[in-house]
Chain A
């Protein structure tokens, strides 16, 4: 039984954990984007996965249409594109909520971002069509199996490495630059920040744009790994929710820890499940189950503010 393999075979489990961490880094990046949006705007964007999806497609088409286009640049372009989309959306649809002109802000935020997700999915479907696409691997690098037996997916490792770089840049930005500090100030206390001259409306747009940018870049790194199609953002959204709730909504270290944990949990869950086929099918469910439990028993997650 596979279950025995998990208990007895250290390399197998180690392999699962490592592969889990690898994908977890990208989950962390996605979660980082969403937690940033939540911490500054107080809103959970239900369209987060769709920015991931669009980022992937932007990268895909750049790589496809322009010969020799550097993949890293494709990731950057994807980020810019999704940043613009996010910023425009915030400006048009969320700003009235921030300025208090909307009657029921919590409901509105949920519904309008949900509507945006719907819109983006169908727009993509209408423009690009329903057939899955996949980009070529960024780097022609094959990794030898670790410990001789653990298979490593080089595409995912490449994606994870890019993600690590991006996360580092974001952290540097948030903790070492004026704008970043401004964002953190607004996330802690909008009015207090306003008194110091920070325009919280612009900060909100910036935060939303950055959040969607991170999602887009996550997608761009993974378009070489997975098949890409218009609704690939749906599970990505779900995973992002899981990550930020586990780590604590609004917490940056929480998002990173949450991402790694969910990646590992999924990997171990699928790999150690007695029936390998079922394990794979239920892969996403492990994170969701943890998510549901956290929501019920410890909604603030690891590092979140107590509700």
Chain B
């Protein structure tokens, strides 16, 4: 399948080195901690965008409930921490598992729903969750916000930076393995033509539920970690809007590539932060960019770029290999 050639591996290693070396370098140059925060949130979005691209881009399940599952992870750890004295780690694990459970349920419920109906159903789920969180405000603190134990007992943002970065790397590696395994083949077959996939022996039920569960767990995990980092969560009235942002990042990056979606998220988030002085107009441009990308670049903006960058080198390699046998 898509095995990595030497140039791709080198680039990835380079990027990892840059990402991991960033904090000490940034500290050295006295970059304000604000930028650590931006990076952490960027990684958070990258995890969400890539896990959504797994669900929607690879498996074709256009669920709009992804952020809601993120919120499940966040609120689980928050509520368990507050009412049952769960520690940070236990809370995060519970949040991940509960989000996964919701994913299983939604996966099963959605089995007979096709594209648009799936989207509508998951929007309904997301809204019902939000309304419940708001309505039960005695329990959840509602819009006032539920406080959480900090992720690390320090004011420095560096540990949280590494935590989120590590989470991003681990989830990308996992999803990459998944996508290149036979499961990835099945997900894509289901996306292409579910009936034909079934006729070819693909256990449609099992794999649809599986992809929902896995992407939900990743979203829940990200949500739980982020919640402890930010130390407060609200049933964000912009839950739907947040979903749009994640979708936009995934689409602009490239729906059918985990890496492109993750990169798209990071680049877009940094760009949005850099453009803060422009105010809300940057979001308007972002929205317009999303629409134009869909209209003219259905495979995303980043993905074709990355493909071109790597394909040229892979081609060169293949040509070189073909010429070798003629010797001796």
Contacts and interface: CB of A to CB of B under 8 A. Distances in A.
A111 B247 contact: yes
A119 B288 contact: yes
Contacts of B115: 106-107, 110
A301 B291 CA distance: 31
Given A115-B291, A295-B121, A121 B62 contact: no
B124 A281 contact: no
B240 A234 contact: yes
A295 B294 contact: no
Question: Interface of chain A, helix or strand or loop or mixed?
Answer: helix
Contacts of B134: 281
Interface residues of A, number: 48
Interface stretch (A62-70, A96-104, A159-167): A96-104
A226 interface: no
A218 B127 CA distance: 22
A174 to B, nearest CB: 23
A119 B290 CA distance: 9
Given A93-B291, A112-B295, A118-B287, A284 B127 contact: yes
A238 B123 contact: yes
Contact of B244 (A92, A118, A296): A118
Nearest to B298: A103
Contact of B284 (A119, A235, A296): A119
A299 B113 contact: yes
A281 B128 contact: no
A272 to B, nearest CB: 16
A296 B115 CA distance: 14
Nearest to B279: A126
A126 B120 contact: no
Contact of B120 (A111, A117, A295): A295
B124 A118 contact: no
A96 B290 contact: no
A125 B238 CA distance: 13
A288 B124 contact: yes
A288 B131 CA distance: 10
B127 A238 contact: yes
A138 interface: no
B287 A44 contact: no
B121 A122 contact: no
A116 B291 contact: yes
A292 interface: yes
A234 B127 CA distance: 10
A292 B251 contact: no
Given A107-B62, A111-B294, A115-B291, A245 B284 contact: no
Given A103-B298, A119-B290, A123-B287, A231 B116 contact: no
A108 interface: yes
Contacts of A241: 120, 123-124
Given A115-B290, A118-B245, A285-B132, 16 more contacts: A93-B295, A107-B60, A107-B115, A114-B247, A118-B248, A119-B288, A119-B291, A126-B279, A235-B127, A238-B127, A281-B134, A288-B128, A288-B131, A295-B121, A296-B113, A299-B113
Interface of B: 60, 62, 109, 112-117, 119-121, 123-125, 127-128, 131-132, 134-136, 237-238, 240-241, 244-245, 247-248, 251, 279-281, 283-284, 286-288, 290-291, 294-295, 298
5 contacts: A93-B291, A107-B60, A110-B116, A118-B287, A292-B121
